Every structure is written in structure tokens, then in C-alpha cells.
């Protein structure tokens, strides 16, 4: 046990000697403290300059906002005066004497009168701005000639003359600068400031409803009628469409929807009247012409149907259904030659439609042209577009 303790002590002593031997190699010199002194000095100088600039800017702003700064208009203050000149001055508070007029009064000699009075002053004081000087500055007359017209011995008579002169000066002088038009006189009430004009509040917006045009109202009524039809309110939709057409008879969609609703309600006479009325103003609506012709065929009025189709024939030159239906009407009227022409036009437009070949064959057969009729029947069967009933008719004709 003592041997183990001795070994542990030797190991500890050896470890301490190794650490002490390596200690001098681990020691490093710290950087000099003077290396960052220049950077800190530059930062301090920059902060001081920033504070100085900010203080100067704030001072300039304060001086600019000060009420005693430059640019304020000079105010002429009149000394105490007699009641009569004060009353005359109050009649024209919007006028002020200029420096030129004051200097002219200061050097003016006394005005001689025929009846001098010891109580009347020989000349106006240099510091008191007479009203006549104000009139002189506005009217442009010579000061001496203007003062000759003003009796200085009778202040009572000077008041009406001063008022008239001031009123004429007020009319002659246009709107001046704010400094000249609003003088401040000592002991006199200031002129009332004009009331600012009332302006509309910027936050208020006047909304004027835009009136709808006749077509816009018709479109809105049509959309409403469609909603009523979808809601199974047929009668309300019918009444609305009738009113729409009374307001705008050229609205195509409203007329077509109304005709369909009237036909479903078995009100065919009204439907036919609506279609005929529409075709008078719009003959190019070939769909209306075909609808009216079908209703007329259903009623057995083939001649009327033929007339209806003929009225819009020029607008349907490229419509195979229109040409084929016209051929069908003429075939039933016993006019095979006209029917053949219409069926040929239909086959030229839609050669793959077997219905028109079948109609052509029937018209040729009625015109006693069996060979041509058989060829037309063969073309009809070869088209492959016939339903079972029509195909049975073709097969019967080819036997």
C-alpha cells in the first residue's frame, strides 16, 4: 500500500515539473494599449461634429420660426391726434401714409389763409399723417395743390372732404399687399377681418346616381326575368318581359324568351303576334322567321309560312336549315319545282345531312323525275345521318 502511495506521489511530482517547464512557452505578450487610441479619438471627434451640426440646424429652424424674424411688414403708428382727424382716419382704416408722404409734410411751409385764426395751427405737425396725404399717395396729384383744397382752419368742414377723398382713394387703389392694406393705428379699432369663404369639406363626396339608359334597363329586366323563370315564376317573368318590350322593342333576347314562354303556355296567337312585330323592324332575325313559320304550319297556314320565310330569305342564303325548311313548305304547298331549288341549296351548304337528300328525292319524285329521285334517296341512305323513321321511308322508296 505504501508503494502505491509512493508511486502516486512520484507521478504528481513529475506532472508538476512538466507543467512548470511548459509554462514559459504558453505565455504571450498582450497587444499594446496604444494601438486603438487613434480609432477612439476619431470616433469621439465624429460624435462631437455630429452634435454641433444638429445643434446648428435646430437653432436655424428656431430662428426661422421666430415671430421677430425678417420679412415682417413695417407698421406705421400714428401719434395721438385730435378727435376730428381721428374720426376722419377711422373712415378709411384700410389706408396708411407712406414714408415719402411724411417727409413731404415735414418740409412743407405753412399754408396762408385770408382769415387766420389764432386757435388754428399754422401747419400740420410733421409726425401727424393727414388724411389728405393719403389721398395724394393714391390719386397721384401734387401734394401742394391737394392741400390747397383742404381748409385747415375749419376741422369741422375737413371731415366730409376727407371722407369723400378717402372714398375716392379707396375706389382708385387696387388690392394692395397685406402690409399696406391692414395698417395698425394707435387708439383706433382694427378693421374687421373678412370672413373666409366656406369651402366644401374635403372628406365629403357627393354621389350622383347615374341614370341607366333604355338598353341597360332592358338588360337588367331580362336578367331578372331569367331568374324568375329559373324560380318557376313563369307568370311574373312573362309580365316583366311584356313591359320590357313595351319600353325597348328591339331587345332580341327578351322577345325570344317571351315567345318561348307564351308558346309553352299555349298562348300561340300572342307568340305569333310578337314574332311578326319583331320581323317588321328586324327582318334579319331568321330564327324568328322560322319560329313564326313553324307556328303557321302547325295551324295549317302554309301560304302564310311561305310568305314569312320569303321575307327573310335574303338574310339566310348560307343557312341549310332555313333553305331545307323552305323546301319542305313549298313541297307541301304542291310546288315541287320551288321545293327542288330550296333542297338543292340546302344540299350544297350541308351535303352530309341526309334530311335534305330525302326531301330532294321526294320533290323530284313529285316532279316525275324518278331516276333523279332514286339517286337522291341513295345519297340520303349513304349519309348515315338519318334516324330510324326517315331511314324506313328511304328504304321503302328504294324497293
State the first-to-last Cα distance of the chain, in angstroms, to the nearest integer: 135
Tell me the pTM: 0.47
DSSP string, 46-83: HHHHHHHHHHHHHHHHHHHH-TTSTTPPP---PPP--H
How high is the pLDDT of residue 41? Answer: 85
- CA–CA dist 272, 286 (Å, integer): 14
How high is the pLDDT of residue 309? Answer: 96
Rounded to 10 degrees, the C-alpha dihedral 139/143/144/147 comes to 70
317-399: in CATH 1.25.40.10: yes
Residue, of 65 and 154, whose pLDDT is higher: 65
How high is the pLDDT of residue 209? Answer: 54
Residues of the chain with CATH 1.25.40.10: 215-310, 317-399
Mean pLDDT of 98-113: 41
Backbone angles phi, psi at 121, to 5 degrees: -70, 145
How high is the pLDDT of residue 150? Answer: 43
pLDDT band for position 108 (cuts 50, 70, 90)? very low
- CA–CA dist 92, 101 (Å, integer): 17
Question: pLDDT at residue 123 above 60?
Answer: no
Return the percentage of the chain with pLDDT > 70, whole number.
58
How high is the pLDDT of residue 181? Answer: 43
Backbone angles phi, psi at 176, to 5 degrees: -95, -170
CB 323 within 8 A of CB 355: no
Provide the CA 148 distance to its chain's centre, in angstroms.
Answer: 67
How high is the pLDDT of residue 152? Answer: 46
* Residue 377: how many other CB atoms lie within 10 Å: 24
Angle ∠(229,231,233) on CA atoms, nearest 5: 60
Q: What is the pLDDT of residues 129-184, one digit of tens each?
A: 444 444 444 444 444 444 444 444 444 444 444 433 444 444 444 444 444 444 44
Residue, of 6 and 196, whose pLDDT is higher: 6
Superfamily of the domain at 215-310: Tetratricopeptide repeat domain (1.25.40.10)
Cell numbers 332575325 correspond to what residue? 285
Angle ∠(224,230,235) on CA atoms, nearest 5: 70
**Closest Cα to residue 275, out of 296, 297, 306?**
296
How high is the pLDDT of residue 23? Answer: 56
Amino acid at each position: 500500500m505504501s508503494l502505491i502511495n509512493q508511486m502516486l506521489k512520484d507521478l504528481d511530482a513529475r506532472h508538476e515539473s512538466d507543467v512548470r517547464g511548459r509554462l514559459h512557452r504558453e505565455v504571450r505578450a498582450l497587444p499594446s494599449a496604444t494601438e486603438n487610441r487613434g480609432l477612439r479619438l476619431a470616433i469621439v471627434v465624429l460624435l462631437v461634429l455630429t452634435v454641433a451640426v444638429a445643434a446648428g440646424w435646430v437653432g436655424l429652424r428656431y430662428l426661422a420660426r421666430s415671430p421677430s424674424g425678417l420679412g415682417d411688414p413695417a407698421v406705421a403708428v400714428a401719434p395721438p391726434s385730435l378727435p376730428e382727424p381721428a374720426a376722419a382716419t377711422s373712415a378709411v382704416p384700410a389706408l396708411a401714409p407712406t414714408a415719402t408722404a411724411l417727409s413731404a409734410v415735414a418740409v412743407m411751409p405753412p399754408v396762408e389763409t385770408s382769415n387766420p385764426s389764432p386757435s388754428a395751427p399754422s401747419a400740420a405737425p410733421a409726425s401727424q399723417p393727414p388724411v389728405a396725404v393719403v389721398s395724394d399717395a393714391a390719386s397721384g396729384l401734387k401734394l401742394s395743390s391737394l392741400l390747397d383744397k383742404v381748409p385747415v382752419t375749419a376741422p369741422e368742414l375737413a371731415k366730409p372732404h376727407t371722407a369723400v377723398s378717402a372714398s375716392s382713394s379707396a375706389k382708385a387703389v387696387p388690392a394692395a399687399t397685406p402690409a399696406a392694406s391692414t395698417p395698425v393705428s394707435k387708439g383706433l379699432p382694427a378693421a374687421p377681418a373678412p370672413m373666409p369663404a366656406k369651402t366644401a369639406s374635403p372628406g365629403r363626396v357627393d354621389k350622383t346616381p347615374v341614370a341607366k339608359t333604355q338598353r341597360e334597363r332592358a338588360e337588367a329586366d331580362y336578367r331578372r326575368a331569367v331568374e324568375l323563370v329559373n324560380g318557376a315564376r313563369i307568370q311574373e317573368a312573362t309580365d316583366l318581359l311584356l313591359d320590357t318590350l313595351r319600353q325597348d322593342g328591339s331587345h332580341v333576347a327578351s322577345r325570344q324568351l317571351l315567345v318561348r314562354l307564351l308558346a309553352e303556355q299555349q298562348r300561340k296567337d300572342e307568340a305569333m303576334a310578337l314574332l311578326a312585330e319583331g320581323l317588321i323592324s328586324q327582318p334579319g332575325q331568321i330564327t324568328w322567321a322560322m319560329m313564326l313559320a313553324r307556328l303557321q304550319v302547325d295551324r295549317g297556314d302554309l301560304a302564310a309560312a311561305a310568305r314569312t320565310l320569303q321575307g327573310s330569305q335574303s338574310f339566310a342564303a348560307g343557312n341549310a336549315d332555313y333553305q331545307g325548311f323552305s323546301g319542305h313548305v313549298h313541297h307541301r304547298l304542291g310546288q315541287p319545282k320551288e321545293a327542288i331549288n330550296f333542297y338543292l341549296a340546302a344540299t350544297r351548304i350541308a351535303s352530309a345531312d341526309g334530311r335534305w337528300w330525302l326531301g330532294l328525292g321526294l320533290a323530284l319524285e313529285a316532279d316525275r323525275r324518278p331516276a333523279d329521285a332514286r339517286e337522291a334517296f341513295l345519297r340520303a341512305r349513304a349519309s348515315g345521318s338519318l334516324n330510324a323513321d326517315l331511314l324506313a321511308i328511304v328504304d321503302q322508296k328504294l324497293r
